[in-house]
Amino acid sequence: MLGTTIVLAIREIRRHILRSFLTILGIVIGVSAVVTMVTLGNGATAAVQEQISSLGANILQIRPGQGFGRGGGGPRPPDFKMADVNAIAQQIAGVKAVAPQVQSSTIAVRNAANWSTTVNGTTSAYFAAQQWELTAGRIFNAAEEQAGKSVCIIGNTVRTNLFSRDDPVGERFRINDFSCEVIGVLSARGQGGFGNDQDDVVIAPIKLAQRRLEGNQDVESITVAVDDHFETSAVQSSIEKLLRERRHISGGKQDDFNIFDTKQISDTLQGTTQILTALLGAVAAVSLLVGGIGIMNIMLVSVTERTREIGIRLAIGAVAREVLLQFLVEAVVLACLGGLLGILIALVASIVVAPIIQVPFAFDWQINLLAFVFSAAIGVIFGFFPAQRAASLNPIDALRHE
């Protein structure tokens, strides 16, 4: 019976092809919009998550000032000293590696090639903290670090721009007014969390950078790698306490530095994603509601228009349930067609749009299935009332209907 009813429903839909299409348009648009957005959103989230994880896990970044900038107005908070770095390394439990950093933009020159890049002055702890491997050469040893010798390790981008295909280890190039020997090459890391090129860097001993580039003994930021067995948040708060003490910040005053947890970015991002998903869900609910009302509308018109047909069916012996089923199935088939068409459009749209907005295309069968089931449910919910009306018609009146 159900099979026959579905065949009849499809026949009826085919008979009014344009009207049927317009009826389901609401559902088509709702489903395709939601599925496309979720598919692209998933791709974007996956891409960003990957970039964030490239920042390194369990890493704390300590900078003077509040927030990302050094804060507008007011006196600039002082930088850290090497003593702060040593204090953290010695006094805080759960710290795997502590690397001080100073950064300055410079121009690196070798023969005719010159390349504008960033010199990152730090210690060998930096490589451990960032879990950054070398592809060639070595990192600086304790003696070079202590003396601030003119040695450096270059990122992949710097290597290609200054040395093209030559082996750079043992070669020298100029940074500003001093010459520097390449002792190692970093493995390529690609794009960072903020769209920056992580490989465009020259890593040098911090003493060298302080002396030749900064002209002071300050430490601009501190990277702390937390031991996996310790809670990052606990380590963070003990560092905060220590630094407040060392920087003489009394009770009520705000920190004049910030400790940034890379996990926070991914948490924030996840929160944003959840809000977006909820918003998308709301849009989907509204558009599907509108689509459902469209279906109900047309089904009611259809019931009125086909009153005589219903009368005939009742006269030749259809029971109320069969008439109800017929109209309900018609509504559900319509809604399902809308869902399928919407999914199809979403698929095409995602495949076309993904490369344009530079997001990987990730097919999510769950959202597609959900969209389809939802469409069917809309058909049942909004088809029931018209079907009920059709089934409750009096055959005599229905037959007389003009």
Smallest separation (angstroms) from another protein to the CB of 306: 9
CA–CA gap between residue 12 and residue 190 (Å, rounded): 57
Question: Is 1 near another protein (CB under 8 A)?
Answer: yes
Nearer to another protein, 19 or 241 (CB): 19
Buried b (16+ CB within 10 A) or exposed e, 121-150: bbbbbbbebbebeeebbebbeeebbeebbb
- In which residue are the tokens 């530079």 written? 358
Do the Cβ atoms of 168 and 108 come closer than 8 Å?
no
Contact with another protein (CB under 8 A): which of 4, 176, 233, 264?
4
Q: Of the listed pieces 54-62, 73-81, 185-193, 393-401, which binds another protein according to CB under 8 A?
A: 393-401
From residue 295 to residue 334, what is the string marking binding to another protein with x (rule CB under 8 A)? -------------xx-xxxxxxxxxxxx------------
CA distances to 123, 344, 372, 375 from 337, rounded to whole Å, are 63, 10, 9, 9
CB of 379 to another protein, least distance (A): 22
Shortest distance (Å) from residue 394 CB to another protein: 8
Among 6, 8, 347, 362, binds another protein (CB under 8 A): 8
Q: How many residues bind another protein (CB under 8 A)?
A: 21
Complex with another protein: residue 359 or 390, whichever CB lies closer: 390
- Whether 16 and 299 have beta carbons less than 8 Å apart is answered as no
Q: In the complex, what is the shortest distance from the CB of residue 324 to another protein, in angstroms, rounded to a whole number?
A: 11
Helix or strand (DSSP H, E) at 162: helix 156-163
Q: Closer CB to another protein, residue 50 or residue 305?
A: 305
For another protein, the closer of residues 289 and 312 by Cβ is 312
Q: Cα dist. 118→154, 176, 291, 297, 300 in Å?
A: 10, 12, 55, 65, 70
Q: In the complex with another protein, which residue's Cβ is closer, 113 or 320? A: 320
314/341 with CB nearer another protein: 314
Measured in degrees and rounded to the nearest 5, phi and psi for residue 94 equal 90, 15
Instruction: Give whichever of 315 and 348 is closer to another protein, judged by the CB atom.
Output: 315
- In the bound state with another protein, the residue whose beta carbon lies nearer, of 107 and 396, is 396
How far is the C-alpha of 322 from the C-alpha of 200, rounded, in Å?
72
Separation of alpha carbons 347 and 66, rounded Å: 44
- Local structure of 150: helix, strand or coil: coil
CB of 373 to another protein, least distance (A): 29
76 touches another protein (CB under 8 A): no
Q: Is 17 in the site for another protein (CB under 8 A)?
A: no
Q: Supply the DSSP symbol for 214.
A: I
User: Using CB under 8 A as the criterion, which residues of the chain lie in contact with another protein when the complex forms?
Assistant: 1, 4, 8, 15, 308-309, 311-322, 395-396, 399
